[in-house]
Amino acid sequence: MQFVAPAEQYDRFMGRYAPTLAAALADAAGVSAGMRVLDVGCGPGGLTRELVARVGAGNVVAIDPAPQFTAACHDRNPGTEVCEGVAEALPWAEAEFDAVLSALVLGFMRDPDQGVREMARVTCPGGTVAACMWDLATGGMTMLRVFWSAVRQFTPGVEGERRMAGTAEGDIVERFGRAGLEDVSGGALNARADYAGFDDFWEPFTFAVGPSGQYLHALPAEQQARVRDACRAALPDEAFSLDARAWYARGAVPAALPRADRA
Ligand SMILES: C[S@@+](CC[C@H](N)C(=O)[O-])C[C@H]1O[C@@H](n2cnc3c(N)ncnc32)[C@H](O)[C@@H]1O
């Protein structure tokens, strides 16, 4: 899926979860000083910022296909190399990085398994590959659960985002195993975001940043209003915070993985 929204709209829609999610993923991947690290699908740079804080800007490289996001990521993380491209065809040689991370991207890739194979290919033997996606299958991402539950009150059976790659428990772990990664483990990461009130929650959906906002955008105005009212009924009037669970996996690149299996 192509992201065309400006970085500032992404910030208000999903970027507000980045500080807590990025720290949790970087912890899970064991990112620490001295590593050279790649952020795949960096968006406007929420995870990139966390990686820069841990290993320094000169040791972080980031890539994303959306030019407005790579520009924002570069501006927000001076000294970091940021380029345009996709996970399925990473423009680096084998074994260039100590750790390769990706937050909330697998489900948007045209070929997620190829994306994982590429992440493994550019990671050095013994290095770490880690990725996460929101728990959309069982609704652990509260913001999106509230939205899709509201939609299903009027249109039962709408699939929404729950079949996207990586959004069910264990899916990323399985993909990592298929890619030949070793010592694969996974579990839940917990993130959180604050909202000044209902309007602060609702307005970003109207920006059509991701699949939920694009679904809303395609509805007639009266149906949009019904979804909004159903969301409002599910949320407090005053300021509130929402929890968000993501599924993650991490794995190690084996020393003896044959080149043909890693490309
Ligand atoms: C939900 S955003 C996540 C951005 C960022 N990682 C974060 O955590 O905020 C999904 C990102 O994946 C990028 N993307 C979509 N398809 C991709 C692909 N095939 N390879 C790499 N990135 C991709 C989009 O441009 C977008 O920036």
In order, the DSSP letters of 23-39 are HHHHHHHT--TT--EEE
Which residue spans within 21-111 are E strands per DSSP? 37-40, 60-64, 81-84, 97-103
pLDDT for residue 257: 58
**Domain locations in the chain?**
7-138+161-195+244-252
pLDDT for residue 237: 86
Q: Which residue from 1, 3, 80, 116 has its CB within 8 A of the most atoms of ligand 1, so it is best to mutate?
A: 3
What residue's CA is closest to ligand 1, atom 27? 43
Distance 10 CA to ligand 1 centre (A): 11
SS3 83: strand
In sign, the C-alpha dihedral spanning 205, 208, 212, 218 is: positive
Distance between CA atoms of 140 and 185, rounded to whole angstroms?
19
Distance 221 CA to ligand 1 centre (A): 29
Distance 39 CA to ligand 1 centre (A): 10
Positions in the chain short of pLDDT 70: 256-263
Atom of ligand 1 nearest to the CA of 102: 6
Fold of domain 7-138+161-195+244-252 = Rossmann fold (3.40.50)
